């Protein structure tokens, strides 16, 4: 497969009457959610093969997620259902300009019960790239499972990507998350941070400082997304700024996931694994960054994280080069 995504799969409830606070919304629409699950859908829509590794509830909403992801072409054979917790829910309120606020219903939700037994080494080894978020890692066993998965991916030479997608309000002890990032980042080929995540994640205050900090950890392609300002990437010692195209913003939910899915799909068209990243030239990386910004902008023009994820005909570009080198 091209990309294996690991971590949270949730149900997002989106308002049918946006522009109100959660308590004032009169009707909601359920949609697949969870950053890694969104990336898996994004890769599949662009024509790649993707899979989701994680845990959902043995309940109707868990069935909903498995069915919707499978309907998008995502392999859900390793998306386990459990009776230990219910499928997590997030209610997303949208203000003017598409900015979001969240109401989480995820206390001991199923996603947190990821365990080392869920990490099927033979299945993981089939992927060119592995990708994770961090919001399913509240329990120590889940953190051990994810760190082990990424250590093994690094040892096999796979492309490993982390987008922390920070939701610090759900962490009783945010220091545990920072410790986990300190273990994950050195195993990664790609790390994507939003601008408001760089200080917590790296201790730096500027995008340039964050990129340098990640480079010191051995990350080959660190990225900071800048919203309407595009993205700043670092590759082979060069800083590459790519602008974001103008967008009629409806909802910014999932824009980062659109960026990551397009970037990873483009990388897996060119690279069999981490070693092949070194064969890319900065011009290719800049081109992929620009396409990823276009994907993110398209997501912002639709309500919800998944509805706006583009399909290949909607995002023309050099996606279909022969895989590998």
- Residue 231 pLDDT > 90: yes
Mean pLDDT of 294-304: 90
Picking from 121, 104, 155, 130, the residue whose alpha carbon sits closest to that of residue 7 is: 130
pLDDT-derived band at 322 (thresholds 50, 70, 90) equals very low
Query: CA nearest 225: which of 246, 244, 205, 249?
Result: 244
For 22-69, write each residue's pLDDT tens digit.
888 889 999 999 999 999 999 999 999 999 999 999 999 999 999 999
Cα 81 from Cα 135, distance rounded (Å):
18
What's the predicted TM-score (pTM) here? 0.94
Q: For the structural domain made of 3-310, what CATH number should be given? A: 3.40.1190.20
Do the beta carbons of residue 146 and residue 69 sit within 8 Å?
no
Burial (CB < 10 A; 0-12, 13-18, 19+), residue 149, is buried
E-strand ranges in the chain read: 3-6, 10-15, 28-33, 50-57, 75-82, 89-94, 100-105, 129-132, 159-162, 190-194, 221-225, 231-235, 238-242
Number of Cβ within 10 Å of residue 133's Cβ equals 27
Q: Residue range 133-144: average pLDDT?
A: 96
Residue 100's pLDDT is what?
66
Across the range 190-199, mean pLDDT stands at 97
Residue 320 has pLDDT above 90, yes or no: no
Catalytic residue ranges:
257
CB count in 10 Å sphere of residue 311: 12
**What per-residue confidence (pLDDT) applies to 325?**
42
Q: What are phi and psi of 227, to 5 degrees?
A: 60, -130
- The dihedral over CA atoms of 202, 164, 122, 264, expressed in degrees to the nearest 10, equals -100
Per-residue pLDDT reduced to its tens digit, 84-137? 999 999 998 876 655 667 788 888 899 999 999 999 999 999 999 999 999 999
């Amino acid at each position: 497969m091209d990309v294996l995504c690991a971590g949270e799969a949730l149900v997002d409830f989106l308002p049918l009457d946006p522009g109100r606070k959660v308590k004032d919304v009169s009707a909601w629409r359920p949609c697949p959610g969870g950053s890694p699950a969104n990336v898996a859908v994004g890769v599949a829509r662009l024509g790649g093969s993707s899979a989701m590794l994680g845990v959902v509830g043995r309940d109707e909403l868990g069935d909903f997620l498995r069915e919707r992801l499978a309907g998008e072409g995502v392999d859900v054979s390793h998306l386990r259902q459990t009776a230990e917790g219910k499928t997590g829910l997030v209610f997303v309120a949208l203000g003017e300009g598409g900015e979001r606020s969240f109401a989480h219903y995820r206390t001991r939700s199923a996603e947190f019960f990821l365990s080392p037994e869920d990490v099927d080494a033979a299945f993981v080894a089939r992927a060119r790239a592995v990708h994770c978020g961090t919001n399913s890692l509240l329990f120590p066993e889940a953190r051990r499972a994810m760190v082990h998965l990424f250590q093994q991916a690094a040892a096999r030479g796979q492309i490993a990507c982390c987008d922390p997608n920070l939701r610090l309000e759900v962490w009783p002890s945010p220091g545990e998350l920072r410790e986990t990032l300190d273990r994950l980042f050195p195993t990664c080929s790609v790390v994507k941070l939003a601008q408001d995540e760089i200080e917590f994640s790296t201790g730096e205050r500027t995008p340039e400082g964050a990129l340098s900090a990640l480079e010191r950890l051995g990350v080959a392609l660190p990225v900071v997304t800048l919203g309407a300002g595009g993205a700043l990437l670092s590759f082979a010692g060069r800083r590459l700024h790519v602008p974001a195209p103008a967008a009629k913003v409806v909802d910014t939910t999932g824009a980062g996931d659109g960026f990551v899915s397009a970037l990873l799909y483009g990388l897996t068209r060119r690279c069999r694994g981490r070693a092949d990243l070194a064969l890319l030239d900065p011009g290719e990386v800049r081109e992929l960054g620009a396409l990823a910004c276009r994907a993110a902008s398209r997501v912002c023009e639709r309500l919800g994280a998944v509805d706006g994820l583009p399909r290949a005909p909607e995002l023309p570009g050099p996606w279909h080069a022969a895989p590998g080198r």
